[in-house]
Amino acid sequence: MAALLAEGVPARSIVAFTFTERAAASLKERISARVAERLGPQALDQLGGLYVGTIHAYCFRLLQTHVPRYETFDVLDENQLTAFLVREATRLQIKDLEGTLFKSIRTFLENLDVVENELLRPDQLDDPFRSVLERYYASLEKYRLLTYGQQIARAVAELDRPTVRDTVLADLRHLIVDEYQDVNPAQEALIERLTGPGVNLVVVGDDDQAIYGWRGSDVGNITSFAQRYDDVATFSITANRRSRPTIVSTADAFAQSIAGRLSKVMTATRPAGGVELVKWVEDMEEDEAAEIAEAIRRLHDNGLAYRDIAILVRSRTSYPALLQALEDARVPVQPAGRTGLFDRPEAEVLGMTYCWLVDHDYRPAGWGVQSQAITEDSLVADYAMAFTLPKPIGAQVRSLLRQWKGAVHQETRRVDLVRDFYELVDVLGCKHWNHDDPYAITRLGTLARFTTLLADYESVRRRARPDDAAPGEQVGGQDRGLWYYKNLAIHITNYANGEYEGFDGEPDVDTDAVDLTTVHSAKGLEWPVVFVPSLTKNRFPSRRTGKARSWLIDRGLFDADRYEGSDADERRLFYVAMTRARDWLSLSRHERVNVKSTRASPYWDEIPTSHLTTAPLSVPTLTSAATEGAALLQVTFSELAAYDLCGLAYRLRTVLGFQPTLAPELGYGKAVHHVMRTIAEHTKATGRAPDPADVDRILDEELFLPAANKVAHREMKDAARRLVNGYIADNASDLHRVWMTERPFELHLSDAVISGRADVILDQEGGVTTGLAIVDYKTSTGDAGAHDLQLQVYADAGRREGLDVRGAYVHDLKRGARDAVDVGSPAIDTAEQKVATVLHGLRQRQFTPKPGIVCRGCDVRVLCKAAQ
């Protein structure tokens, strides 16, 4: 990447795909370091247009940039998608698949993955799956929703349109794909379409590391690459620059057993470093975990940072014993969603509450667990136990719960689950918890995760849709009544209590903590020290590998074996685990989990016995790379502004994850911004500003408010019409000066990158051909200082890129006024100092509350002792 920039290749012409967001962040940091080293720190200013990220994120950006209607779409994650399928189950007739609701949903999602990974068409499928799928796609479109799979499928479809393809390829010159061996057919179809004339494609991959067949990846993509593309130059990288010689040779010897691999022999370039690989056995699983924890403590005592150590497991089954051992040894662990939300007593009693409200039995997650009836007395007792409540507070909780139960049957009352939740949190007295106490933070994090569950359910249930019977209007979703609560109870007991991840700690860019994760999640990463435990017969390889599954799709339409897995897949996964280690690799297993013995993994015996040792382990003394400098802090300007407004609110919302209430006006500002973009593009396409009739048509087609019912939508549409028509009347000439809309910026500082997106950039500023002005639209009252700082940051970033930014304005659509922002050199210097100060506080985790007028509209004020 640095070489391309050194050759004068514009950063905006380079796209680099990584497999995970974490790998993207790591690659960005390494690119910045290499560019600064090779070209000087000033060259970082040219990185603003460089795309480094996942294929999914790129596809969503492509859709929203080049197909504006997708600005009104939202992306469902896995939990939200399940809630959506429950809402739409009757219309989809999804129970036709398996007879029962949640079994049918699981089967549908398993087969949906195949359809979207393989880009299959509904007309290739048989009923009833075909009909359910067609209705499902129609529902997503109706509600303006996308899934992760649909992001790619729709991007591929849009690139088949010449206008979109030509625009995308106009600036693209270099496409780089990391971990290419794990792309699936849909992703490969995207890559093929992006590899147009004048685009150089570079793929980097290793067939021995193809580990995502169960998600549709096809190792044949890399083994047949030279046959599918023209003018291919192949460079074989057989020198391993990461790992010590013993690790390299042992892993390579094991890799020779992988069926169907490309022939190669890996060699090490680093010198030997003493003992580099050990294998060992303990009697019980808990003993193995305890030895790992103690070895990590000794490594740390010898000078190795915790962050330079990883424990990689085949599946989540191995987490509990390891987590307990690490906690007993007081070894910090990076947060990564390893526990279930309902493992915490606070979450379980909250889940019971929503069942009790509708007299629905509560059933804990797990096989063979019996349902239990919830009574008022048992529920209040559980609250007293989970939250350590004194009797007077317990009485207040009882009173509030009775109010809630009485309100369930009020068919005219609009439900607001998150708002009600904050009322309960207030009664529980959570604002008095000590934010310096890790235990209290874990409890707060659990409550925050529960607000995510409620917000996911509400956002799907209350999702509006355009009204087919009245063009230009929309129909609100479900927001009241007994069945609103009943469906929530059903969702909790049949899905949420087994699928939502718990709170494992606060993410922090400078945290010194061990990584405990699955081998799949370790994709593209490395550590000086790696432990791979639980190498037993049923854990590694997985006992489910190779088992035939019953598909709703004809096996002749796709390679079902890829999804069902094979020994070769598991061998590749073990090879990946071993090759994550730079300096020292520990392979271990246990003889028993309880009284029953467990056999060794077949892979265990393929590791030479010369590496066998016994506990306690003799660990090396290693120099930590973690002390070389602060990690690159990557934040958006919105995050920066939120932290500056109130450090505690930022911690509660952004770090811990407390969700906002779902107000009907949610998304109004975003919707108006989208309309303003459409107005600008209409002017550019037609050569004239839209007249009132054009504005009405644009509002009918483009103004979508996801949480508004018909009446609220009408009111906000009328308000938007006044804002837009007022803007056109006063600023029609500006519509002919639009240089770019939704233009991204990145400000690169010594240890941080601040990213953002400008609403619109005008040209001809000050009558100068190259002169540009950045304009930010404002639709509500807010912190004027934040708007000014935002534009100053964008102006600074733009000038560093080489743009001739001569002005910046905040345009208040409500007042119809445009206020100039000072972007002179002294003001920009002051803005940089302000940003540096805010970033310092953020990096140092100074989450200080800033009580004041902003407290009045703050959802999380019930968690703040300083709130006014």
How does pLDDT run across 561-595, given as a tens digit for each residue?
A: 889 888 988 999 999 999 999 999 999 999 998 87
Residue 83 falls inside a structural domain: yes
Paired tokens of 333: 């662990």
Residue 783 confidence (pLDDT): 61
Helix (H), strand (E) at residue 806: strand 805-812
Each residue's pLDDT tens digit, 415-451: 999 999 999 999 999 999 998 888 888 889 999 999 9
* Residue 818 zone, left/alpha/beta (φ > 0; ψ -120 to 50; rest): beta
Paired tokens of 344: 């915490």
Residue 509 confidence (pLDDT): 61
Higher-confidence residue: 442 or 627? 442
Residue 691 falls inside a structural domain: yes
Do 706 and 735 fall within a single domain? yes
Say whether pLDDT at 510 is over 80: no
Do 185 and 286 fall within a single domain? no
Residue 782 confidence (pLDDT): 60
* C-alpha–C-alpha distance, residues 807 and 865, integer Å: 42
Residue 636 confidence (pLDDT): 92
Higher-confidence residue: 343 or 201? 201
Paired tokens of 72: 């009104």
From 612, 627, 642, give the residue that closes a domain: 627
Do 223 and 117 fall within a single domain? no
Over residues 316-331, mean pLDDT? 90
Do 194 and 233 fall within a single domain? yes
Residue 584 falls inside a structural domain: yes
Do 49 and 191 fall within a single domain? yes
Is the previous residue joined to 533 through a cis bond, with omega within 30 degrees of 0?
no
Residue 364 confidence (pLDDT): 83
* C-alpha–C-alpha distance, residues 624 and 644, integer Å: 33
Say whether pLDDT at 629 is over 60: no
Over residues 289-315, mean pLDDT? 93
Over residues 392-403, mean pLDDT? 93
Residue 317 falls inside a structural domain: no
Q: Provide the number of structural domains found in the chain.
A: 5
Over residues 657-673, mean pLDDT? 88
Residue 328 falls inside a structural domain: no
From 92, 113, 143, give the residue that closes a domain: 143
Each residue's pLDDT tens digit, 722-737: 999 999 998 889 999 9
Average pLDDT, the chain: 90
Stretch among 199-208, 280-289, 526-535 having the lowest mean pLDDT = 199-208
What radius of gyration, in Å, describes the C-alpha atoms of the chain? 28
Q: Which domain covers residue 371, as residue numbers?
A: 341-499
| 714-734: b (≥16 Cβ within 10 Å) or e | eebbebbbebbeebbeebeeb
Is the previous residue joined to 541 through a cis bond, with omega within 30 degrees of 0?
yes
Can you give the length of the chain in residues?
868
* C-alpha–C-alpha distance, residues 333 and 627, integer Å: 18
Q: Residue 6's CB: how many other CB atoms inside 10 A?
A: 12
Each residue's pLDDT tens digit, 35-67: 888 888 888 888 878 899 999 999 999 999 999
Q: For residue 164, what is the domain's CATH number?
A: 3.40.50.300
Say whether pLDDT at 686 is over 90: yes
pLDDT bracket for residue 649 (50, 70, 90): very high
Do 606 and 737 fall within a single domain? no
Contact 84, 109 (CB under 8 A): no
Over residues 605-628, mean pLDDT? 83
* C-alpha–C-alpha distance, residues 746 and 637, integer Å: 9
Say whether pLDDT at 627 is over 50: no
Class of residue 68 by CB neighbours under 10 A (exposed 0-12, middle 13-18, buried 19+) = middle
* C-alpha–C-alpha distance, residues 663 and 562, integer Å: 45
| 216-254: b (≥16 Cβ within 10 Å) or e | bbbbbbbbebeeeeeeeeeeeeeebeebbbbbbbbbbeb
Say whether pLDDT at 338 is over 90: no
Residue 626 confidence (pLDDT): 44
Residue 575 confidence (pLDDT): 94
Each residue's pLDDT tens digit, 449-478: 999 999 999 999 999 999 989 999 999 888
Over residues 353-371, mean pLDDT? 86
Contact 861, 855 (CB under 8 A): yes
* C-alpha–C-alpha distance, residues 698 and 89, integer Å: 33
Q: Residue 212's CB: how many other CB atoms inside 10 A?
A: 23
Is the previous residue joined to 68 through a cis bond, with omega within 30 degrees of 0?
no
Contact 333, 505 (CB under 8 A): yes
Residue 614 falls inside a structural domain: yes
Say whether pLDDT at 781 is over 80: no
* C-alpha–C-alpha distance, residues 244 and 579, integer Å: 10
Q: Residue 88's CB: how many other CB atoms inside 10 A?
A: 19
Residue 508 confidence (pLDDT): 67
Paired tokens of 688: 């004239």
Residue 334 falls inside a structural domain: no
Nearest to 453 by CA among 415, 409, 502: 502
Say whether pLDDT at 337 is over 50: yes
Say whether pLDDT at 631 is over 80: no
User: What are the strands, taking DSSP E only, across 164-206?
Assistant: 174-177, 200-203
Do strands 309-313 and 527-532 pair parallel, antiparallel, or not at all (unpaired)?
parallel
Class of residue 543 by CB neighbours under 10 A (exposed 0-12, middle 13-18, buried 19+) = exposed
Record the pTM: 0.88
Do 454 and 487 fall within a single domain? yes
DSSP label at 230? S
Do 169 and 63 fall within a single domain? yes
Over residues 521-530, mean pLDDT? 89
Which amino acid appears at position 202 of this protein?
V
Residue 29 confidence (pLDDT): 85
Q: Residue 429's CB: how many other CB atoms inside 10 A?
A: 15
pLDDT bracket for residue 108 (50, 70, 90): very high
Strands lying side by side in the sheet with 174-177:
51-54, 14-18, 174-177, 200-203
Q: For residue 680, what is the domain's CATH number?
A: 3.90.320
Do 291 and 351 fall within a single domain? no
Over residues 487-500, mean pLDDT? 91
Q: Residue 801's CB: how many other CB atoms inside 10 A?
A: 20
Q: What is the DSSP track for 383-410?
A: HHHHHT--HHHHHHHHHHHHHHHHHTT-
User: Helix (H, G, I), strand (E, B), or coil: what is residue 54?
Assistant: strand
Do 467 and 381 fall within a single domain? yes
Do 428 and 566 fall within a single domain? no
Do 673 and 798 fall within a single domain? yes
User: What are the strands, taking DSSP E only, across 19-94?
Assistant: 51-54, 74-75
Sequence-distant (6+) residues with CB within 8 A of 151 are 56, 59, 60, 63, 75
Residue 230 falls inside a structural domain: yes
From 627, 650, 665, give the residue that closes a domain: 627
